Amino acid sequence: MRLDRRRLILLLLLAFTVLVTVIIAQKQEDKDQYMVKDFQVDDVLADDGSGLVLSWKPLDRSKRIIEYRVYRGVSPDQLFFLDAIPVNVKIGVASDRMYYYDNSGSEFIDIASPRHLKKEKQQDAKSPLYRKMPRDIPFLAGMADKFSLLSLVDKGKYYYSSKQFTTDKPTTPGPDGKIPESGDTYAGLKDYQQSVICFLKPGEKYYYTVVAVNERSKFQKPAAITVGTPIPNPPDPSPALYTVVLEDKRTLQFEWDYPLYKDDIAQYRIHQLPAMSDTMWMQLKQNPEALQGKTNVVAQGGVGSGSLKNYTTIPLTTEEAVAKFAEARYSIELMDYDGFSSYSPLSVPRLKQSSALPPIANFKVEDKPNDKGDRLTVTWDAPICFVVKTTALDSKFSRLRLNYQLNKTEVQKVKNIYFEFFKTGESKPFAKIKEFYQDDKIVLKLPKGYDYKQGFRVKITMEGKPEIPKDYMLEQDLMFDPPMMAIMPTKALYRNGLDVSRISNVVYKKTISSPNLTLVKRNTSFDNSLDVTIPYPSLMQKPVQGLSFAKDDSLITLINGSQGMERKARKLQSGDIKTPLVLLSADLDLVFDKKNETRIDTSLFPSVGVKLAKDKVEELKTTLADLNAQKAALPDPAMAAQLDSQIDKVSKQLAAYSENNNLTHANAIKGKRSRMRYIAGVREDYSRYNTYQVVKTDGKGMFVEGELPKDGEEIRYLKPVSQWFDANKYVTLFATFLFATMVMVFVNLAKRGKDLYIRPIAGIQEIDNAIGRATEMGRPMLYCMGIGSMTDVATIASLGILGLVAKRAAEYDTKLIVPCYDYILLPIAQEIVREAHYSVGRPDTYDKNTVFYLTNSQFAYVAGVNGIMIRERMATNFFLGYFAAEALLMTETGNSVGAVQIAGTDAVTQVPFFITTCDYTLIGEELYAASAYLNREPMLLGTLKAQDYFKFFILTIMILGAVLSTFQFTGLNELLPLK
Amino acid sequence: MKKTIPLFIVILGGLIFVAYAFSPHRFLQDDFYNKFYVPWTYASAPFAALLGIISLSMMHSSKIKRRAPKWQFSYFFFAGFIVTALAGLIGGMQKGGLFMWMFENMQMPMSATMFSLLAFYMASAAYKAFRARSMEATVLLVAAIFVMLAQVPLGVKISKHLPTISQWILDVPNLASKRGIGLGVGLGAVATSLKILLGIERSYLGGGD
């Protein structure tokens, strides 16, 4: 068959079709291969119904996936970017499944969110994937109801930039049956003034997908869109309840552990049961009806809002027999906010005497010195010193280096630590070491012939200020550890003979307005204090109450109601705020009235604040009158007495709102800004007052509460104080003043004409000759200031020398090239060179293109400078400033072109390279002196001379300190700051 | 006035930073430094960068105009600048984009090449330094031999004391001289700062009075 033209075309077409089909098929196959498989969305167990867990099978390492991007939406046709999970492209994912928990606050809108709805990259028109949720309130209004929203707003923005937004007067009666006189007032903030985070709502449907992105940023096909609904579940049971019956004190002590997820636990209830087997209890607790009547609630309380108190004590009445409680069994029921509960395994009580309890914690709370006022120190013990590890200094273990740790607060000073070492079973120490300078290590010589594998005991005592009790003693056993091939301390730490290593010191805090203690931290017995941070408030957290915006000629508001967000629309009127707003509560706490035990709230807006206070007083008066009338109407005095506590509470609230000075003063201020400034000052001050409690516990029911700090009968609350001066820096300040005085003295001496001798520095003296050489050769000079910025002293010193070099260069009409590394330096260098030309009367020779910015990439700068050196065939190079690895690369090149090179730096590591490759080198401080040396200005010479004398002063102190320390006088060492 | 106002600003700024160093107060640490100084530094840096770019562009355009020696290379500057800027502005700076590709496959290897040259330059510098032409150079040579040999397994084979000697050289004479220089540098830095604070040192203002 002849292959004519037509057949050839046909054949080619066929081949092309086959090729295209194969490529398309291959691509399709590739697409499928890169798609995330087995994607699932499940409810998070034991949570409050605000969490979903996403899981999928990760792609193979060979796919070079760099991240998995998670998308979420409230409908399957619009999914927004939620989060990206980075993956190490080389290692891939080791596990079979990847998990992502969507159970905490995620971004709803933020300043970084796109302004409008934006498709995700590389997506076609049909794709449901979008970038982050847009910062578009009218658009978001459609889905706001599906989430719980929380606004995080800078306090300044909330206080001063909030817009007063009042809803229309309701037409239907409120819960009290009356039609309110006006609408509700909210603080309206624009979308960019805050970050709004969202939480999933129980029972709502959420749609998810996951997209793998490879290292070339190519988005792969999304996983199948999957729906999930979070539902509230019963909390996990407490893993363990510990019960102790203190026989002599006739008390029951309970301590329990919390499950992993404990955020929504609101209450606990401890049940007493008759003795039964674990199997029986398992069956019984699954049947709440059968449980009724068989248990006796002995204790209950609230642990919500992060309190997480995990212990309680129940006193037994004298009539009750201790044995009855010791023989019973106990279980703790943890209840969440949704009413779900779960029971712990049965606890068998231990019968103990109070003498076995840990000692009560005598703690104190102090302001942490020398800080900006955001920390308090809770101290419950004298300084604690213990051996951390030992290292044999020879193969026979005859000499050991012991590293110790000294835990103390900033106000506790330890003068000496005494270590005494005892052989096992002996009471006479074989070695004593007095550690007068605490460098965290000592060297111990073991007695000759002693078998180190037997180990030994170390006894540690200390003296210091505030005075450490004489009988305060810490002991540790140091035993040979065969796997480690070293003598190591055992876990036990004996404090005055009692092993305290299992005792924890748990710190709780209480704010001035809260009735409950909240857990801060559980500390070991190796700690003697805790620094608690009380940050200055900077953010306000407010639940979003609604949204408002104008659309066409309507004002649309969405306000949180009992049925979710209620949407209302009406015609726009004059004075309406058209800007889309996120509406937050305008109410905020002003102060806690300690006398009346009432937290007083007010409003952001002056008129609303005044009205709020007035209405509150009226409401409380009415309530009080009602309660008094109810009480009078009750025939039974016992029942009437029950109302007394309510009447007392309302009376106090009434007194607080009628008489509180802060509220009265705030409401008297007319201007919004000045009123807000006053409110901010009051509320931020009171909210920083805290008190603390330390509980010593073995974690198994043997605990002792420390007493809350008190002033007479009242609990003492403290707030940290911001210090104006760091007391650790007195010596530095003194030295600075001394040096400044010396500078003044020598400057004055120099001004009066006293001849101050400055030793000759060859590198500086040769600067003139080097410039002369370049002039004679008719070649340019290079002035390089290194890679420092204006914050480096070396760069500033270099700028001083540049002025002098530029002046000489201008005088001799020699070209000076200054390539700059830092763009901030460029205009300064240009100005210096320009001034130099003007000062010698040669403005015409100034070319600002000879002082230029090169780059701020280190090695690109080297390449540039080296290129200039070679092309321009430099006669003289100056390398003065701060240099790093590029120094040798540049000076060697300069050397190879035969330039005279003068270098100077304060970077110690580069000095050897300069010495080797340059003709003259200014070492360290000589660089700083160069400007003074060349200028011979009395002012500059004076500082140079003062510098020399001060150096002599420092050397004297150093020698004196070394000598005194040798004789164990460490006062001078301790006086001087470490850094 | 041209010098007085900048001098006043520098002295005032210097005094504030002296106070910042000695005072932990919230007003200085948070209100001044974190809320005022740092944001203003970030805000003003791009303007200074613009100055640098203008300077570099002017220098290269003038080179092209004047047909200065090797003027053709200046085109590479413009090409590199425009391509990199466009790659970053359009494609973003994330991994996988053109900008990062150029950074990883062009700038990084070129920087690494420059850095690797250091090894050869060091050998050349070492040769110059270790020629035992004077007493000092001989001491340097001997010390260097000890230190270098102690870094390799062969040194330990020669003598088990070599690492100890090497460590002693590094810890005692070497550290003493480093600390000596460090002390001078520290004092010099304080002196320079004082000179600036007292208005004695004015070179940073652009020369002249």
Query: Kind of pairing, strands A296-302 and A106-109?
Result: unpaired
Contact B55 A911 (CB under 8 A): no
Chain B 14-53, CB below 8 Å of chain A: which residues?
A: 21-27, 29-30, 45, 48-49, 51-53
Task: Kindly report whether the peptide bond that precedes residue A358 is cis, defined as omega within 30 degrees of 0.
Answer: no
Backbone angles phi, psi at A803, to 5 degrees: -60, -45
Residue B23 CA neighbour count, 13 Å, CB half: 18
Quick check: A154 contacting B, CB < 8 Å?
no
- Contact present, A952 and A959 (Cβ < 8 Å): no
Contact B22 A722 (CB under 8 A): no
Quick check: B121 contacting A, CB < 8 Å?
yes
For residues B201 and A801, what is the distance between their CA atoms, to the nearest angstrom? 12
One fold for both A364-507 and A762-936?
no
pLDDT-wise least confident of A6-20, A226-240, A329-343 = A6-20
Residue A163 CA neighbour count, 13 Å, CB half: 19
For residues A572 and A771, what is the distance between their CA atoms, to the nearest angstrom? 79
- Contact present, A916 and A887 (Cβ < 8 Å): no
The whole-number pLDDT of residue A968 equals: 83
Backbone angles phi, psi at B98, to 5 degrees: -65, -40
Tens of pLDDT, residue by residue over B31-76, are 999 999 999 989 988 888 888 888 889 888 988 998 887 788 889 8
Quick check: A385 contacting B, CB < 8 Å?
no
3-state secondary structure A652-717: HHHHHHHHCHHHHHHHHCCCHHHHHHHHHHHHHHHCCCEEEEEEEECCCCCEEECCCCEECCEECC
Backbone angles phi, psi at A848, to 5 degrees: -70, -10
Identity of the residue in A370, A793, A853 whose CB atom sits nearest the CB atom of B189: A793
Specify the length of chain B in residues: 209
Contact B96 A828 (CB under 8 A): no
Q: Is the pLDDT of residue A221 over 70?
A: yes
Specify the length of chain A in residues: 979
Among the CATH numbers 3.40.50, 3.30.310, 3.40.1350, 3.30.10, which is that of A762-936?
3.40.50
Which pLDDT band, with edges at 50, 70 and 90, does A681 fall under? very high
- Domain ranges for chain A: 1-33, 35-228, 241-356, 364-507, 726-755+937-979, 762-936
For residues A278 and A292, what is the distance between their CA atoms, to the nearest angstrom? 18
- Contact present, A523 and A529 (Cβ < 8 Å): no
Q: How many CB atoms lie within 10 A of CB A941?
A: 24
Tens of pLDDT, residue by residue over A397-452, are 899 999 999 999 989 999 999 999 999 888 899 999 999 888 899 999 999 888 88
- Contact present, A223 and A37 (Cβ < 8 Å): yes
- Contact present, A19 and A27 (Cβ < 8 Å): no
Q: Is the pLDDT of residue A128 over 80?
A: yes
Identity of the residue in A214, A833, A852 whose CB atom sits nearest the CB atom of B55: A852
Identity of the residue in A790, A793, A889 whose CB atom sits nearest the CB atom of B121: A889
- Assigned token pair, A873: 């065939």
Question: Percent of chain A having pLDDT more than 70?
Answer: 98
pLDDT-wise least confident of A178-192, A280-294, A594-608 = A280-294
The whole-number pLDDT of residue A31 equals: 59
Average pLDDT value for residue range A936-946: 79
- Which chain A residues are Cβ-neighbours of B95 within 8 angstroms? 66, 215, 217
The whole-number pLDDT of residue A632 equals: 83
Which pLDDT band, with edges at 50, 70 and 90, does A182 fall under? confident
The identity of residue A834, as a single letter, is R
Average pLDDT, chain B: 86
Quick check: A892 contacting B, CB < 8 Å?
yes
Question: Percent of chain A having pLDDT more than 90?
Answer: 56
Tokens 């004593």 locate to A432
Backbone angles phi, psi at A247, to 5 degrees: -65, -50
Tokens 């031999």 locate to B145
Three-state SS at A198: strand
Identity of the residue in A838, A853, A925 whose CB atom sits nearest the CB atom of B184: A925
Contact B208 A838 (CB under 8 A): yes
Q: Is the pLDDT of residue A1 over 60?
A: no
Among the CATH numbers 2.130.10.10, 1.10.540.10, 3.50.50.60, 2.60.40.10, which is that of A35-228?
2.60.40.10
| Burial group, residue A681, by CB count within 10 angstroms (0-12, 13-18, 19+) | exposed
| Burial group, residue A219, by CB count within 10 angstroms (0-12, 13-18, 19+) | middle
Angle at A399 between CA A393 and CA A405, to 5 degrees: 80
For residues A518 and A508, what is the distance between their CA atoms, to the nearest angstrom? 5
For residues B144 and B151, what is the distance between their CA atoms, to the nearest angstrom? 11
Tens of pLDDT, residue by residue over B118-170, are 889 888 888 877 776 778 778 888 888 899 899 888 888 888 889 889 999 99
Identity of the residue in A66, A372, A790 whose CB atom sits nearest the CB atom of B95: A66
Q: Is the pLDDT of residue A305 over 80?
A: no
Q: How many CB atoms lie within 10 A of CB B67?
A: 8
Residue in chain B lying closest to A821 (CA): B52
Contact A832 B25 (CB under 8 A): no
Partners of A76 in the β-ladder: none
Could you tell me where the DSSP H helices lie in A99-194?
A: 137-140, 155-161
Average pLDDT value for residue range A35-56: 91
For residue A951, what are the CA distances in angstroms to A741, A921, B191?
14, 21, 11
- Contact present, B201 and B15 (Cβ < 8 Å): no
- Which chain B residues are Cβ-neighbours of A950 within 8 angstroms? 187
For residues A357 and A133, what is the distance between their CA atoms, to the nearest angstrom? 57
Q: Please say whether the dihedral angle defined by the alpha carbons of residues A460, A465, A468 and A470, taken in this order, is positive or negative.
A: positive
Average pLDDT value for residue range A150-169: 92
For residues B130 and B122, what is the distance between their CA atoms, to the nearest angstrom? 12
State the distance between the two ends of chain A, measured CA to CA, in whole angstroms.
95
Contact B201 A826 (CB under 8 A): no
- Contact present, A283 and A387 (Cβ < 8 Å): no
For residues A248 and A241, what is the distance between their CA atoms, to the nearest angstrom? 22
Contact A828 B204 (CB under 8 A): yes
Q: A364-507, superfamily in CATH?
A: Immunoglobulins (2.60.40.10)
Residue in chain B lying closest to A939 (CA): B200
- Shortest Cα–Cα distance, B19 to chain A (Å): 9
**Which residue did the predictor score with more confidence, A71 or A359?**
A71
**Which residue did the predictor score with more confidence, A694 or A565?**
A694
Tens of pLDDT, residue by residue over A199-212, are 999 999 999 999 99
Residue in chain A lying closest to B58 (CA): A849
Helix (H) or strand (E) holding A388: strand A384-392
pLDDT-wise least confident of A24-33, A337-346, A784-793 = A24-33
Quick check: A951 contacting B, CB < 8 Å?
yes
The whole-number pLDDT of residue A58 equals: 93
The CATH number of A241-356 is 2.60.40.10
Average pLDDT, chain A: 89
Which pLDDT band, with edges at 50, 70 and 90, does A595 fall under? confident
For residues A194 and A105, what is the distance between their CA atoms, to the nearest angstrom? 15
- Contact present, A862 and A886 (Cβ < 8 Å): yes
For residue A19, what are the CA distances in angstroms to A23, A32, A357, A635, B192?
6, 20, 84, 100, 75
The whole-number pLDDT of residue A29 equals: 58
For residues A825 and A846, what is the distance between their CA atoms, to the nearest angstrom? 18
Residue in chain A lying closest to B96 (CA): A216
Tens of pLDDT, residue by residue over A807-853, are 999 999 999 999 999 988 888 899 899 999 999 999 999 988 899 99
**Which residue did the predictor score with more confidence, A688 or A7?**
A688
- Shortest Cα–Cα distance, B30 to chain A (Å): 9
- Describe the strand order of the beta sheet including A364-367 as a list of residue ranges: A364-367, A375-379, A529-533
Quick check: A607 contacting B, CB < 8 Å?
no
Query: Kind of pairing, strands A690-697 and A504-511?
Result: antiparallel
Three-state SS at A222: coil
For residues A577 and A583, what is the distance between their CA atoms, to the nearest angstrom? 12
Q: Which candidate in A722, A851, A855, A895 is best for mutational testing of the B interface (most B CBs within 10 A)?
A: A722
CB pairs under 8 A between A and B: 210
Q: Is the pLDDT of residue A744 over 80?
A: yes
Q: Is the pLDDT of residue A746 over 60?
A: yes
Angle at A796 between CA A791 and CA A797, to 5 degrees: 140
Tens of pLDDT, residue by residue over A896-936, are 999 999 999 999 889 988 988 899 999 988 888 887 777 77
Query: Kind of pairing, strands A52-57 and A37-43?
Result: antiparallel
- Which chain A residues are Cβ-neighbours of B103 within 8 angstroms? none
Which pLDDT band, with edges at 50, 70 and 90, does B209 fall under? very low
Chain B 81-110, CB below 8 Å of chain A: which residues?
A: 94-97, 107, 110
Average pLDDT value for residue range A440-468: 92
State the distance between the two ends of chain B, measured CA to CA, in whole angstroms.
10
Which pLDDT band, with edges at 50, 70 and 90, does A338 fall under? confident
For residues A229 and A675, what is the distance between their CA atoms, to the nearest angstrom? 46
Residue in chain B lying closest to A954 (CA): B183
Q: How many CB atoms lie within 10 A of CB A449?
A: 6
- Assigned token pair, A256: 């329990």
Contact B111 A852 (CB under 8 A): no
Contact A725 B194 (CB under 8 A): no
For residue A474, what are the CA distances in angstroms to A408, A481, A696, A704?
14, 22, 18, 21
Contact B122 A888 (CB under 8 A): yes
Which pLDDT band, with edges at 50, 70 and 90, does A353 fall under? very high
pLDDT-wise least confident of A23-37, A285-299, A665-679, A812-826 = A23-37
Q: How many CB atoms lie within 10 A of CB A216?
A: 11
Backbone angles phi, psi at A843, to 5 degrees: -65, -25
